[in-house]
Amino acid sequence: IRATLKDAGLTAEKINIENYYRKNEYKSEYDGILKGDAEIASELLSKLGDSKVYSPTMFESYGLCPFQFYLKYMIYLNSMPELEERISSSDLGILFHSIAFRFYENRRKHGCPKVTVEDLAEAIEDINNIAKEEFADEELQKYSSDGDPVWSSLKQRFIGNSRGRKGLLEDFVRREAEGLPSCFSPANFELSIGSTASKDLSDVCSRTDPVSLDLGPEEPDHVLIQGRVDRLDLTEDGQFMVIDYK
């Protein structure tokens, strides 16, 4: 019985360590709480000085698991990438962002960034044509082959087909026209703050310097933030709404 209780205790401890949501306070070495080594502490402090630039993703990582934050952002230890024969979820996300960026950039150049019910049909045609061009890009062709049903299904998922299936891009544009407050209009796309700008996807208003946020009179009194906003919508009186495509 004692052995069983001991095993159960060890199991409970492991579950506690792996608790994804971090509901309680954790102060163990498994949480990245490193103490007793002045050299390690000094090196960490040098990496977390006033010049350190953070991103929202870094704060999210620390909130979920400080040890994960330590591995990824302090000693730069990342997991090995998985080899994928099919297009990855990450590449699909980049594909959507690229399509949306080109779509809204074109509309902004023509002075009509906001999609309305009146020009909905034209907007759907425009975004689907952009998607067809993106799918024909040489970089994506490595995932395709003649008659590949998976590739064909993926394209239909985005664009739809002639048999009445609507693609997610059409649903996206319809929600833009029918669901968003009429007072807001798309203004900036892939807006980067700090060193997060992409060569191909970056708004003209992006900036290379991080933003300094005031934390009050106590030390540290500020923190430097960088990141990227999928889209920023504005009203005529200066109100704004941040859009995350996820």
Q: In what order do the strands lie in the sheet with 211-214?
A: 53-54, 222-225, 211-214
CB 184 within 8 A of CB 234: yes
DSSP code of residue 171: H
pLDDT tens string 60-82: 888 888 888 888 888 888 776 66
**Residue 128: count of CB within 10 angstroms of its CB:** 19
Q: Cα–chain-centroid distance for residue 220?
A: 27
Cis peptide before 220 (omega within 30 of 0): yes
Pairing outcome for strands 222-225 and 53-54: parallel
- Per residue in 78-123, pLDDT (tens digit) is 776 665 556 778 888 889 999 999 999 999 999 999 999 999 999 9
Placement of tokens 């994960």 in the chain: 68
CA 86 to chain centre: 21
- Among the residues of the chain, which ranges form H helices? 2-17, 38-47, 56-64, 66-69, 89-109, 120-135, 149-159, 168-179
Is 86 strand, coil or helix? coil
pTM above 0.75, yes or no: no
What's the order of all strands across the beta sheet hosting 227-234?
185-193, 227-234, 240-243
Is there a contact between 97 and 230 (Cβ–Cβ < 8 Å)? Answer: yes
pLDDT tens digits along 173-192: 999 998 888 899 999 999 99
Confidence at 1, pLDDT banded by 50, 70, 90: very low
Question: Is pLDDT of 55 > 80?
Answer: yes
Please state the length of the chain: 246
